[in-house]
Amino acid sequence: MTFNPFAVDENSTKILIVNVLYISGPLNAKKVHAKLKEHGAGISYQAAHKALKKMVENEVLTSEEGNFSINPDWISNMKSFISSFDMKPNSIKDIFSKLDSGKTVSFTVNNDMEMGYFVLDFAHHFNDVKSPKDGPMILNFHFMWTILPLSARQFMMLKEIINKRGVYATSHENSIYEEIMKRHWENAGAKVAINVPDCASTSEVIILGEYIINIFWNPDHLKMNLEFTRAVKDEKSLDYNEFYKVLGALTKTEFVIIKSKEAAEYTRKKSLSYFK
């Protein structure tokens, strides 16, 4: 089986179907629909049956004699996927402590998943301990990062940041892929501007209060990402299995984090100017 970690949309009926089958065991389509209604899902039987069929096609579920159950291979692969990427290069609190004492923090991560997950953990801790008056989260990208690999818990973390202080993202690229990812972020509540030529130069730049996260790509890995994103012609042509391979590909991505009120404020104002 070719594992597709994006086969279940964390914010749709599909994740609820997985939860129902996990608790109840194999069920036919009518019983799945009834369980969904019990959980408050306003969905027709036809829509539920369509979702079940799609999940069988994606090998998330299996179907035998009219009963649907969770594919054990999908569970095994998902557990492996989560354990491989749910990592932190350092204690988040330790990093903030070093930054607040005037030190620069630097480290490397091994793939795009670790990169995104660290930024989310860093931002979520900042969101918990700092006031909304410290400003929104600013993301300046070479190309729009995807939020598809976020677990339900991580998606709620992102929503907490968006709801408390706001998230503004800019991207240098201008492609169909950018439009797709822009829509995903905006559906979550973020503000996004793509095709911003000077938003990223040598690194991704992320601003949280007085903290500046600079992320330096391995040039070959950045090239691979850009080649993939530019090849997307429409949403149907977005090959999620290939996308997963790119996101999980081993590389060395360098982080340099500093604390500078003046530099952070300048970059924040510059970034927010694209949204006026």
Q: Which residues contact 146 (CB under 8 A, 6 or more apart)?
A: 181, 184, 243, 247
Domain ranges of the chain: 13-82, 86-275
Q: Which tokens go with 92?
A: 């988040």
Q: Are 194 and 178 in contact (CB under 8 A)?
A: yes
Work out the percent of the chain whose per-residue pLDDT is above 90.
62
* 262-268 contacts, C-beta under 8 A, 24 or more apart: 263/212, 264/207, 264/209, 264/210, 264/211, 264/212, 267/138, 267/140, 267/205, 267/207, 267/212, 268/135, 268/136, 268/138, 268/207
Query: pLDDT digit string (tens) for 163-212?
Result: 999 999 999 999 999 999 999 999 999 999 999 988 887 899 999 999 99
Q: Is the pTM of this model over 0.85?
A: no
What span, in angstroms and rounded, lies between the C-alpha atoms of 269 and 265?
Answer: 6
Q: Are 28 and 56 in contact (CB under 8 A)?
A: no
Instruction: Identify the band that residue 245 occupies on the pLDDT scale cut at 50, 70 and 90.
Output: confident
* DSSP code at position 39: T
Q: Which residues contact 121 (CB under 8 A, 6 or more apart)?
A: 88, 92
Query: pLDDT digit string (tens) for 112-164?
Result: 988 999 999 999 999 999 999 999 999 999 999 999 888 888 999 999 999 99
Mean residue pLDDT of the chain comes to 88
Query: pLDDT digit string (tens) for 1-56?
Result: 455 655 665 446 787 888 788 888 899 999 999 988 887 778 899 999 998 998 89
Q: Is the pLDDT of residue 68 over 80?
A: yes
Query: pLDDT digit string (tens) for 87-97?
Result: 444 588 889 99
Give the homologous superfamily in CATH for domain 86-275: Endonuclease Chain A (3.30.870.10)
Q: Which tokens go with 107?
A: 């480290």
Q: Domain 13-82's class?
A: mainly alpha
> What is the β-pairing status of strands 137-141 and 105-109?
unpaired
Output 250 or 255, whichever has higher pLDDT. Answer: 255
In this predicted structure, which of 19-33, 69-83, 108-122, 245-259 has the lowest mean pLDDT? 69-83
